[in-house]
């Protein structure tokens, strides 16, 4: 593809770095190149330009010779000495061409000269010509490599051992790195490692098949091995566990900035086309780099260090959700080492209940028409001694994976029943409590029996309890869900379908189930007033609810406008930060205290309490909760 034909998308023609101390020249260069589809970066000084070249990896550098401080020749020399920037095409911008300058420039590796003032057309042509030449060279190399790899794609070669051409494994890496560091025992420099990961592994698996994948892995390993070798023998690379994960460990004494630049160059190499099954294949990679804090003393602590730093590099390689990252992520202290953390959390979850690290908070549910608090949703919290409060959104999925959700879910049910029974005995008009039940509990536990036992143990009226089951859990095993819901309701406990709107949102299956309440997910409700399509769906759900006889709760009401809209559409219940955040047991007690017996709690009381005022109450007598929940 020529640079011209790529010029449609801004930046599609390539990225050019301009190092020039004259702002007017920068403006002209930028305008000309952008019009031709290039992305531009600019630096006013040599050192700044070098840093930009290392971090942003331009396709070409345009540089003035007479810069203040480090001049153009110095810049070129630095770029050519660094592996990460060594091959970037380099064009000098100069007022007049002196022969000594040209000789020096050529010796240092300049590709071309442009004299100022220049015509925009000449500038663009010079840049395009350089980039075209560079493409020719890399494509030539790639097709040679491809021809070689094509031969390796034969089933016999692919099924053979690949250890001879590929990277060593993790164990070998540890041994190699230990050997490197033994020689430098006295040095206290940090251990620096990078990780590259192939993204979309499942998709590649599906589109390429096994044999091609094997060949791809091999090509990737070849490129990494070549990059590591180019960086000096002491730079170690290895295959990590799982497909498409590789570690690179830098030799003692390398700085983090240099390692980052080297990883960036590697990333670029890995993202260019692979030759597979007679065609080009592109694979997305992400990369991260980290510097281990502790100096290495002996082999055992080195192994520990290495594990830690590789995990940190891997953490840094993961872009935030929704972020499309092109550059290498650098591990920062505040970043939680995802895999390490999850490993720890996974282990610690097994003891969370016995160690008393769990507690429950309670979020009020308000009847929209009357403003009365009809109940509370019980939400579990985990106070981890090291990580602090861990969100259930994080640890519940882990607990579902490792099975501890059975124990945790049982505890939450038990504790919530105990708490509400206690509040009722103290005369607090708390209505009912809603407890979340996980899909795993539904599959593997005898939920109706657990419920029966918890109610009996705390002498709690069944109408004071509601179970929340997510829509996806119901759909996962409709028959089982139906049976469980039936048994639980026979005990006199009500059932709500939770998070409606996040899964299939199928109104059709709702008709097959007998349940009491439907909770519309907060992602649907937040700012609903700004989306006419969502309003229409909410209206549809409310109409259906009226026909089928279930109550609707809107989750995630965050402001008055949303509340008013839902109230006007006759949605019965609401929950959300507009009324109250999940409250501690102490906070609930504080709101309740001081009220006269027989008075109901209202949203206004919650608001007053949140402002630090006294919790007033409203008369009306304690409602039988089942009636109350029916709105």
Q: How far apart are CA 497 and CA 582, in angstroms?
A: 20
Please give, one letter per residue, the 3-state secondary structure of 207-260.
HHHHHHHHHHHHHHHHHHHHHHHHCCCCCEEEECCCCCEEEEECCCCCCHHHHH
20 binds Mg ion (CB under 5 A): no
Cβ-based nearer residue to Mg ion, 104 or 513: 513
286 binds ligand C2E (CB under 6 A): no
Find the part of the chain contacting ligand C2E (CB under 6 A) among 187-195, 553-561, 601-609, 618-626: 553-561
Element (H, E) at 41: strand 38-43
39 binds Mg ion (CB under 5 A): no
558 binds ligand C2E (CB under 6 A): yes
Nearest CA to 520 among 551, 494, 546, 495? 551
Cβ atoms of 62 and 21 closer than 8 Å:
no
572 binds ligand C2E (CB under 6 A): no
**Choosing among Mg ion, ligand C2E, none, which partner's interface includes residue 260 (Cβ < 5 to 8 Å by kind)?**
none
- Which residue in the set 236, 318, 458, 522 belongs to the binding site for ligand C2E (CB under 6 A)? 522
Q: How far apart are CA 34 and CA 13, in angstroms?
A: 9
409 binds ligand C2E (CB under 6 A): yes
Cβ-based nearer residue to Mg ion, 274 or 500: 500
Nearest CA to 416 among 382, 389, 381, 454? 454
466 binds ligand C2E (CB under 6 A): no
Find the part of the chain contacting ligand C2E (CB under 6 A) among 90-98, 306-314, 386-394, 507-515: 386-394
Find the part of the chain contacting Mg ion (CB under 5 A) among 267-275, 359-367, 497-505, 571-579: 497-505
Cβ-based nearer residue to ligand C2E, 576 or 631: 576
3-state secondary structure of 14: strand
To ligand C2E, the closest distance from the beta carbon of 399 in angstroms equals: 8
CB count in 10 Å sphere of residue 126? 18
Number of residues engaging ligand C2E in binding (CB under 6 A): 23
- Classify residue 166 by its DSSP letter: S
Cβ-based nearer residue to ligand C2E, 246 or 382: 382
**Choosing among ligand C2E, Mg ion, none, which partner's interface includes residue 237 (Cβ < 5 to 8 Å by kind)?**
none
To Mg ion, the closest distance from the beta carbon of 392 in angstroms equals: 10
Q: How far apart are CA 22 and CA 33, in angstroms?
A: 17
**Choosing among ligand C2E, Mg ion, none, which partner's interface includes residue 416 (Cβ < 5 to 8 Å by kind)?**
none
To ligand C2E, the closest distance from the beta carbon of 361 in angstroms equals: 7
498 binds Mg ion (CB under 5 A): yes
Dihedral angle sign, alpha carbons of residues 448, 454, 457, 462: negative
Residues contacting 312, CB < 8 A, separation 6+: 288, 290, 292, 331, 335, 337, 340
Q: Which residues pair with 435 in a beta bridge?
A: 378, 467
Find the part of the chain contacting ligand C2E (CB under 6 A) among 253-261, 311-319, 486-494, 556-564: 556-564
Residues 415-444 that bind Mg ion (CB under 5 A): 436
Cβ-based nearer residue to ligand C2E, 90 or 579: 579
Find the part of the chain contacting ligand C2E (CB under 6 A) among 257-265, 292-300, 509-517, 555-563: 555-563
Buried b (16+ CB within 10 A) or exposed e, 393-407: eebbebbbeeebbbb
496 binds ligand C2E (CB under 6 A): no
Cβ-based nearer residue to ligand C2E, 198 or 430: 430
To Mg ion, the closest distance from the beta carbon of 521 in angstroms equals: 6
Residues 452-481 that bind Mg ion (CB under 5 A): 468
Query: Alpha-carbon Rg of the chain, whole angstroms?
Result: 32
Residues 355-384 that bind ligand C2E (CB under 6 A): 363, 379-380
Alpha carbon separation from 58 to 108, 126, 611 (Å, rounded): 19, 16, 54
Residues 434-453 that bind ligand C2E (CB under 6 A): 436, 438
Q: How far apart are CA 55 and CA 49, in angstroms?
A: 10
Backbone angles phi, psi at 568, to 5 degrees: -65, -25
Cβ-based nearer residue to ligand C2E, 247 or 574: 574
Give the distance from CA 330 to its chain's centroid: 15
To Mg ion, the closest distance from the beta carbon of 434 in angstroms equals: 7
Structure tokens at 71: 């001049």
| Chain residues in the site for Mg ion (CB under 5 A) | 436, 468, 498-499
By CB under 6 A, name the binding residues for ligand C2E. Answer: 363, 379-380, 391-393, 396, 409, 412, 436, 438, 468, 498-499, 522, 555-558, 575-577, 582
């Amino acid at each position: 593809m020529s640079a011209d034909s790529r010029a449609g998308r801004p930046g599609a023609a390539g990225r050019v770095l301009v190092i020039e101390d004259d702002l007017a020249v920068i403006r002209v260069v930028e305008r000309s190149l952008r019009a031709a589809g290039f992305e531009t970066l600019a630096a006013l000084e040599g050192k700044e330009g070098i840093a930009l070249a290392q971090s942003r990896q331009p396709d070409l550098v345009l540089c003035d010779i007479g810069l203040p401080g480090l001049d153009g020749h110095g810049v070129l020399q630095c770029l050519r000495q660094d592996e990460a920037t060594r091959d970037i095409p380099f064009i000098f911008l100069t007022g007049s061409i002196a022969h000594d300058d040209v000789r020096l420039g050529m010796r240092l590796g300049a590709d071309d000269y442009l004299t100022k003032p220049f015509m925009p057309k000449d500038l663009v042509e010079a840049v395009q010509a350089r980039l075209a030449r560079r493409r020719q060279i890399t494509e030539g190399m790639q097709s040679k490599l491809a021809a070689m790899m094509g031969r390796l794609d034969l089933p016999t070669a692919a099924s053979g051992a690949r250890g001879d051409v590929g990277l060593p494994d993790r164990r070998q890496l540890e041994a190699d790195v230990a050997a490197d560091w033994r020689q430098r025992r006295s040095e206290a420099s940090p251990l620096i490692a990078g990780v590259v990961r192939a993204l979309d592994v499942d998709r590649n698996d599906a589109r390429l098949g096994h044999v091609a994948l094997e060949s791809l892995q091999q090509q990737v390993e070849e490129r990494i091995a070549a990059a590591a070798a180019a960086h000096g023998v002491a730079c170690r690379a290895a295959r990590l566990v799982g497909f498409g994960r590789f570690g690179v460990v830098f030799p003692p004494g390398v700085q983090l900035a240099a390692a980052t630049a080297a990883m960036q160059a590697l990333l670029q190499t890995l993202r260019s086309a692979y030759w597979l099954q007679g065609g080009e294949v592109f694979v997305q990679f992400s990369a991260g780099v980290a510097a281990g804090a502790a100096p290495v003393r002996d082999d055992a602590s080195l192994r520990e260090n290495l594990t830690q730093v590789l995990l940190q590099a891997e953490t840094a390689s993961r872009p935030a959700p929704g972020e499309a990252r092109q550059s290498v992520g650098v591990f920062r202290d505040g970043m939680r080492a995802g895999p390490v953390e999850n490993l720890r959390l996974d282990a610690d979850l097994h003891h969370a209940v016995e160690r008393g690290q769990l507690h429950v908070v309670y979020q009020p549910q308000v009847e929209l028409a009357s403003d009365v608090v009809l109940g509370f949703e019980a939400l579990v919290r985990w106070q981890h001694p090291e990580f602090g409060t861990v969100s259930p959104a994080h640890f519940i999925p882990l607990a579902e994976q490792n099975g501890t959700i059975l124990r945790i879910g049982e505890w939450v049910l038990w504790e919530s029943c105990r708490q509400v029974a206690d509040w009722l005995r103290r005369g607090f008009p708390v209505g009912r409590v809603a407890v979340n039940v996980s899909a795993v509990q539904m599959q593997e536990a005898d939920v109706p029996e657990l419920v029966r036992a918890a109610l009996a143990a705390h002498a709690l009226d069944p109408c004071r309890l509601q179970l929340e089951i997510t829509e996806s859990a119901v759909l996962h095993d409709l028959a089982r869900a139906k049976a469980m819901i039936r048994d639980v309701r026979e005990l006199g406990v009500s059932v709500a379908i939770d998070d409606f709107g996040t899964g299939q949102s199928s109104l059709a299956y709702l008709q097959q189930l007998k349940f009491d309440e439907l909770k519309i997910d907060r992602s649907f409700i937040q700012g609903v007033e700004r989306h006419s399509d969502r309003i229409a769906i909410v209206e549809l759900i409310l109409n259906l609810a009226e026909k089928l006889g279930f109550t609707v709760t809107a989750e995630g009401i965050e402001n008055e406008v949303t509340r008013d809209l839902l109230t006007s559409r006759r949605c019965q219940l609401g929950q959300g930060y507009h009324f109250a955040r999940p409250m501690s047991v102490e906070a609930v007690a504080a709101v309740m205290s001081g009220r006269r017996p027989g008075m109901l709690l209202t949203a206004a009381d919650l608001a007053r309490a949140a402002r630090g005022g006294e919790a007033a109450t409203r008369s009306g007598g304690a409602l039988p909760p089942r009636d109350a929940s029916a709105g």
